[in-house]
Amino acid sequence: MSDYTNLELEIVGHTAVLTLANPPANTWTGASLAALTRLVGDLNANPEIYSLVVTGQGEKFFSAGADLKLFADGDKAVARDMARHFGEAFETLSQFRGVSIAAVNGYAMGGGLECALACDIRIAEEQVQLALPEAAVGLLPCGGGTQTLAWLVGEGWAKRMILCGERVDAQTALRIGLVEEVVGKGEAKRAALALAAQAAKQSPSSVAACKRLIQGARAGAPAEWLPVERELFVDLFDTEDQKEGVNAFLGKRTAQWRNR
């Protein structure tokens, strides 16, 4: 795999562990967002990768989002370029074919929280703070935050966080559905890897199909996706995973997935 600017990649079994590494606050740049887009594409092309865990370097920050110095001179060309990079990176992350888990180990602000929102599941450490504070500096979330946050927590809490600039702590995030689990300080990565290991027991072909169906409901009525659900069920019979899964169950052995 190629070099990824400000991103560190480690492979643990069938899980890719991505660490956001741009100290001191793990901020995003155009280069690192483009690198994320490339990285997810590379992982999608690797049949041995089933899951992706995203975390931040150090103890204080998951990611503080974009470096505001980029926008200090009001250059619209820079703004347009960064908005494109944010959109492409987090939409690509959202469409990762496997299970993506954000191990939120510190402050997740602005584009940092949007990165976590683009993942399938979020595990937060008990000390974290989460916010989309862009409106406080005359900006708005441009990496999907206005859409994905409202989908997860409802319009009211999305408006509290985006329009009123309200920060939420880990327990509030758990209560409103912004995260799925809260763990002790320093435990998010371990918990995410354990969940990724559970995902590795599932058929990768089935996971990809199910994820497409679950996320499809965001863009259309569930009734539109029911026929697609039935078709994708039948399509799985073209895969080696389907035959392996059923026969492994009947033979009382562990399935050996081929992700095809």
Structure confidence by residue, pLDDT tens digits, 54-107: 999 999 999 999 988 888 888 899 999 999 999 999 999 999 999 999 999 999
Residue 2: predicted pLDDT: 54
Structure confidence by residue, pLDDT tens digits, 112-132: 999 999 999 999 999 999 999
Mean pLDDT of the chain, nearest integer = 94
Q: Does the pLDDT value for residue 260 go beyond 70?
A: no
Which residues does 220 contact at the CB level (< 8 Å), separation at least 6?
none
Q: Which of 91, 114, 155, 180 is catalytic?
A: 114
Q: Which of 8, 126, 134, 180 is catalytic?
A: 134
Average pLDDT over residues 27-45: 97
Structure confidence by residue, pLDDT tens digits, 161-181: 999 999 999 999 999 999 999
Annotation says 231 is catalytic: no
Annotation says 125 is catalytic: no
